[in-house]
Amino acid sequence: MKPYKNKINKIRSFALSLIFIGFIIMYGAIFFREHQWLVIIFMTLGILCILGSTFVYGWIGFLSTRAVLVECPGCHKHTKVLGRVDMCMYCNEPLTLDPSLEGQEFDQSLNNRTKRND
């Protein structure tokens, strides 16, 4: 079984890595300083990564407002659940908002499955 992570945490680490990638790309421009057009391309790519990261951070803010705050039964901390199934931010306990899924083996695909009783 793959280690699942809380979705908001996952997106947040993605945004953070985008910032690092952006800086690494811009740093890479130093090695091509003889070719001005390469420097411009690298700088643009780096800036795009950082702008993308800012966008993702804004998106997290938007998602957080839609996430449901629940008390985790495992560690009794308040964690945010996004979608029908998500993991606790602190102990990775699988959590669900749908009682019909309770006790089932955690599966990321449960998020995409349509409700059976509809």
Residues that bind Zn ion in the complex, under the rule CB under 5 A: 72, 74-75, 88, 90-91, 93
Cα→Cα distances 19→11, 37, 100, Å: 13, 23, 40
The CA distance from 4 to 64, in Å, is 19
State which residue, 13 or 17, has the beta carbon closest to Zn ion: 13
Find the shortest distance in angstroms from Cβ 45 to Zn ion. 38
Find the shortest distance in angstroms from Cβ 3 to Zn ion. 15
Find the shortest distance in angstroms from Cβ 92 to Zn ion. 7
State which residue, 18 or 88, has the beta carbon closest to Zn ion: 88
Q: Which residues contact 75 (CB under 8 A, 6 or more apart)?
A: 88, 90, 91, 93
Other CB atoms within 10 A of residue 64 CB: 14
State which residue, 86 or 101, has the beta carbon closest to Zn ion: 86
